[in-house]
Amino acid sequence: MKIIVGKSENSMNHYAKNCIIDVIKTNDQPVLGLATGSTPVGMYQALIQAYRQGEVSFKDVTTFNLDEYVNLASDDPNSYRYFMNDQLFNHIDIQLDHTFVPNGNTTDHQQACLDYEQEIDQHDHLDLQVLGIGTNGHIGFNEPGTSFESRTHVIELEPSTREANARFFASLDDVPTHAITMGIETIMESKAILLIARGADKKQAVKELVDGKRSPDFPASALKTHPRVTMLLDEAAASLLD
């Protein structure tokens, strides 16, 4: 795993933006895996700015998001579909029907998972998957204990994950209990991975990822055998590394 420690938030956003633009410019039909949460917001702003300055076009880009809450309408401001439209897609020239987010708002979630896998399959593979990391080591919403062979599936969110995400909701009770997430095997099939971590509350998880063993108890550790992982860290997230 390649580790890059950014000296400033700006330099991290700049680096991440350039990774994405590089994928877009070197592929005829680029396929990006994207994440929500606080971590990628600055990167999305940098991409919007690059688009406005004519540095990049997204018209041939397809995107697949990692996850979506179960039973939130797509126009609910807390849904990840809403987040992606609001934070990125509405501000660039991407074709919205080339942007995929798991469909959590359906009566048949198992079918939604199969449909998502099939859609990814039809695009062959992801060229680059952007990841954040949970303090418990989750990637996507693959909570500790998730099999490394998992494909897109429904998962019950851990109490710690619901608490961490409650900041976006009116109350903890409003945070959905379940989500659909790409599986770990699905993520591992991406040609390259960019994992971004910021802030001191991620330092333990980063340390465990770098120095710990590969085990489903710590889902991000699956990445240890991926041939092309870059970890982009701020100084606080990297502070426990040797």
Q: Using CB atoms, what's the residue nearest to ligand F6R?
A: 132
Selected from 30, 33, 37, 183, the binder of ligand F6R by CB under 6 A is 37
Active-site positions read 67, 136, 138, 143
Window contacting ligand F6R (CB under 6 A); options: 30-38, 44-52, 86-94, 114-122: 30-38
Verify binding: residue 183, ligand F6R, rule CB under 6 A: no
Of the ranges 50-58, 136-144, 149-157, 219-227, which one interacts with ligand F6R (CB under 6 A)?
A: 136-144
Question: Which residues, at least 6 apart from 202, have a Cβ–Cβ distance to it below 8 Å?
Answer: 133, 135, 236, 237
Interatomic CA distance for residues 237 and 143, integer angstroms: 20
Nearer Cβ to ligand F6R, position 59 or 199?
Answer: 199
As measured in angstroms, the least distance from the Cβ of 92 to ligand F6R is: 19
CA 19/CA 84 separation, integer angstroms: 19
Tell me which of 24, 35, 47, 209 binds ligand F6R, using CB under 6 A.
35
Nearest approach in angstroms of CB 168 to ligand F6R is: 9
| Contact between residue 188 and residue 123 where contact means Cβ atoms under 8 Å apart | no
Shortest CB 155 distance to ligand F6R, Å: 11
**Closest CB 67 distance from ligand F6R, rounded Å:** 5
CB of 9 to ligand F6R, least distance (A): 13
> Does 67 engage in binding with ligand F6R (CB under 6 A)?
yes
The residue (of 66 and 229) whose beta carbon lies closer to ligand F6R is: 66
DSSP notation for the chain:
-EEEEESSHHHHHHHHHHHHHHHHHH-SS-EEEE--SSTTHHHHHHHHHHHHTTS---TT-EEEESEEETT--TTSTTSHHHHHHHHTGGGS---GGGEE----SSS-HHHHHHHHHHHHHHT---SEEEE---TT--BTTB-TT--TT--SEEEEPPHHHHHHHGGGSSSGGGS-SEEEE--HHHHHTSS-EEEEE-SGGGHHHHHHHHHS---TTSGGGGGGG-SSEEEEEETTTTTT--
Whichever of 29 and 159 has its CB closer to ligand F6R, that residue is 159
Q: Is residue 39 a contact point for ligand F6R (CB under 6 A)?
A: yes
Out of 33, 42, 132, 176, the only residue in the binding site for ligand F6R (CB under 6 A) is 132
- Asked if 42 touches ligand F6R (CB under 6 A), the answer is no
Residues at the interface with ligand F6R (CB under 6 A): 35-39, 66-67, 132-134, 138-141
